[in-house]
């Protein structure tokens, strides 16, 4: 990561802001010694907290923002707050003062402000939200997770392109596989939009990475590295998975506290259970990314603690360091050239 890499931070967004946000930044600063931070929020509140952070010393610039976008504020209202910590952080990306922005605050406000202020990359019709989830074979990328309820085949193709680039950067996979989430794996399944997207992808530059259609159980099985779907379906799948993980954790606690023999069994299984808990720790998967915008935009879970926020910062800095948007632009150019080369040549004698 270059010395000029800088992340704009909304320090006032989130259930545990600003303490958890700044503590998370301090953890991330130790992991990324060359990163710089542009922090927005209530200066009177933030300065005493920042003074206790040894890894952030000399690595940040603090800018006062008089307004705060609350978690229950409607996006239409948030758009009118020009001096909010979230708006100022996004404006810094637009002005070129930072290469990305992170917030644990109001999701709707972050989406609305990012789309209006930063706008989408050239060639991207709609941005998509991507995040990482656990699977039997390792981490899996899922997108879209809630931005696009209305979509077409071109949007799914764009999501696939952005998702594979994201997986290369964040998961370190040179040629990640991907699939379209469907109600069945057979080619004839799904609606016309899914089938049209599948046909385009099978003729695209990333056709070799395309698995085909996948079903809901394939997400946890790790059948592919990237699961591509629309925002409505993706959000339902993500929330269902989160609920299932919580249920497993609750059941395990009940099982191992059911009686003296169960508690004895816990003593023997404690090491394995610790590894399981670390693997399924939701903080490890914190940091959803809005792909397709002119700048890196990362949404941290609002209720996360410092460690979880630090992971989201890790994701943002990885995206910046690997020049994510330029790689998306290259992938789009290759896709467009492939589509144009296959288009029928007009009859010049007409």
In the numeric block, the tokens 């809630």 are attached to: 146
Statement to judge: residues 117 and 228 lie in one domain: no
Cβ neighbors of 237 (< 8 A, separation 6 or more) are: 142, 181, 216, 219, 227, 229
Statement to judge: residues 174 and 280 lie in one domain: yes
Kindly state whether residue 334 falls inside one of the protein's structural domains.
Answer: no
Tokens of 281: 């720790």
Identify the pLDDT of residue 63.
97
CB atoms within 10 A of CB 84: 28
How many structural domains are present in the chain? 2
Per-residue pLDDT reduced to its tens digit, 254-283: 888 888 888 888 788 878 878 877 777 778
* Residue 331 near residue 226, CB atoms below 8 Å: no
* Residue 49 near residue 24, CB atoms below 8 Å: no
Tokens of 155: 């949007």
Statement to judge: residues 302 and 170 lie in one domain: no
Average of pLDDT values for 294-311?
94
φ, ψ of residue 193 in degrees (nearest 5): -65, -45
Statement to judge: residues 191 and 311 lie in one domain: no
Average of pLDDT values for 58-82?
94
Segment holding 128, helix H or strand E: strand 128-135
Does residue 117 register a pLDDT over 50? yes
Q: 65: domain range?
A: 1-124+292-322
Statement to judge: residues 139 and 275 lie in one domain: yes
Kindly state whether residue 336 falls inside one of the protein's structural domains.
Answer: no
Statement to judge: residues 239 and 315 lie in one domain: no
Does residue 214 register a pLDDT over 70? yes
Segment holding 342, helix H or strand E: helix 324-342
Identify the pLDDT of residue 338.
61
Identify the pLDDT of residue 245.
82
Kindly state whether residue 348 falls inside one of the protein's structural domains.
Answer: no
Statement to judge: residues 59 and 133 lie in one domain: no
Statement to judge: residues 118 and 150 lie in one domain: no
Tokens of 296: 């890196």
Statement to judge: residues 275 and 140 lie in one domain: yes
Does residue 76 register a pLDDT over 50? yes
Kindly state whether residue 114 falls inside one of the protein's structural domains.
Answer: yes
Statement to judge: residues 71 and 97 lie in one domain: yes
* Average pLDDT of the residues of the chain: 89
| Weakest mean pLDDT among 161-165, 234-238, 329-333 | 329-333
Tokens of 198: 């599948």
Identify the pLDDT of residue 337.
62
Tokens of 158: 């764009």
Which CATH number covers residue 115? 3.40.718.10
Identify the pLDDT of residue 61.
96
Tokens of 95: 């002005």
Each residue of 120-144: b (16+ CB within 10 Å) or e?
A: bbeebebbbbbbbbbbeeebbbbbb
Tokens of 18: 């600003």
SS3 (DSSP) at 122: coil
Statement to judge: residues 116 and 134 lie in one domain: no
Kindly state whether residue 68 falls inside one of the protein's structural domains.
Answer: yes
Statement to judge: residues 117 and 171 lie in one domain: no
* Residue 120 near residue 126, CB atoms below 8 Å: yes
């Amino acid at each position: 990561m270059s010395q000029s890499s800088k992340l704009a931070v909304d320090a006032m967004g989130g259930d545990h802001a600003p303490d958890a946000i700044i503590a998370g930044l301090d953890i991330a600063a130790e992991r990324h010694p060359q990163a710089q931070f542009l922090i927005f929020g209530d200066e009177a509140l933030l300065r005493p907290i920042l003074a206790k952070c040894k890894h952030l010393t000399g690595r940040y610039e603090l800018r006062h923002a008089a307004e705060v976008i609350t978690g229950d504020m409607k996006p239409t209202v948030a758009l009118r707050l020009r001096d909010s910590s979230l708006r100022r952080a996004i404006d810094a990306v637009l002005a070129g003062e930072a290469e990305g922005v992170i917030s644990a605050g109001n999701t709707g406000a972050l989406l609305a402000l990012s789309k209006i202020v930063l706008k989408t990359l050239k060639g991207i019709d709609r941005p998509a939200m991507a995040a990482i989830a656990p699977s039997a074979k390792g981490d899996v990328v899922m997108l879209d997770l809630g931005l696009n309820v209305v979509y077409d085949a071109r949007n799914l193709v764009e999501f696939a392109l952005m998702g594979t680039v994201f997986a290369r950067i964040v998961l370190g996979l040179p040629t990640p596989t991907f699939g379209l989430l469907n109600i069945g794996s057979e080619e004839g399944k799904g609606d016309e939009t899914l089938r049209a997207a599948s046909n385009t992808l099978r003729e695209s530059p990333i056709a070799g990475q395309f698995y085909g259609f996948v079903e809901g159980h394939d997400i946890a099985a790790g059948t592919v590295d990237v699961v591509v779907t629309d925002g409505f379906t993706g959000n339902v799948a993500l929330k269902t998975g989160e609920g299932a993980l919580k249920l497993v954790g609750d059941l395990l606690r009940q099982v191992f506290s059911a009686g003296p023999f169960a508690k004895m069994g816990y003593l023997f299984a404690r090491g394995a259970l610790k590894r399981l808990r670390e693997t399924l720790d939701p903080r490890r998967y914190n940091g959803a990314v809005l792909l397709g915008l002119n700048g890196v935009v990362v949404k941290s879970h609002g209720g996360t603690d410092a460690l979880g926020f630090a992971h989201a910062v890790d994701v943002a800095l990885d995206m910046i360091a690997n020049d994510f948007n330029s790689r998306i632009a290259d992938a789009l150019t290759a896709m467009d050239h492939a589509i144009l080369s296959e288009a029928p040549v007009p009859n010049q004698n007409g």
